[in-house]
Amino acid sequence: MADCIFCKIANHEIDSDFVYEDDQVVAFRDMEPQAPVHFLVVPKKHIPCLDECTEEDKELIAHIMLKIPEIAKSLGITTGYRVVINNGDDAFQTVKHLHFHVLGKRKMTWPPG
Ligand code: AMP
């Protein structure tokens, strides 16, 4: 997607603070961190949101879920972290390219805001 900021980051057209990359995903630090460690895991494939995932994406989603603990550990998160997907306007999804927030190194509260 030509005008998608996360596609541009995934294609290295825009620099970012990358913490992980492979053939399917990139992970980089959020520019407005909500925790001492806050990174985003983003599929290289442009999928607008969780609602738009299909059967075809299930291996990709499983891949992401298995990579998250690996990346979290590599960044020194040892006592827990939160994974968040904002899907749609009510959830305050601001970037229309599927991404997984990973927040750690602080005590979280529940319910989320
Ligand atoms: P969401 O509200 O779930 O769509 O989250 C989008 C996230 O992307 C926000 O936390 C932003 O701070 C983050 N973000 C937007 N643009 C960039 C960027 N260029 N580099 C790093 N993080 C970004």
In Å, how far are 1, 5, 79 from 13, measured between CA atoms? Answer: 12, 9, 34
Q: ∠ CA(93), CA(41), CA(36), 5° rounding? A: 85
Amino acid at the residue 27: A
Q: Provide the CB-side half-sphere exposure for 92 (13 A, CA).
A: 4
pLDDT digits (tens, 9 = 90+) for 63-76: 999 999 999 999 99
**Cα(102)–Cα(82) distance, integer angstroms:** 6
What parts of the chain have a pLDDT lower than 50? Answer: none
Asked whether 5 lines ligand 1 (CB < 6 A), one says yes
**What's the 100 CA to ligand 1 centre distance in angstroms?**
10
Q: How far, in Å, is the centroid of ligand 1 from the Cα of 58? A: 24
Active site residues: 99
Q: Residue 113's pLDDT is what?
A: 82
Does the predicted TM-score (pTM) go above 0.75? yes
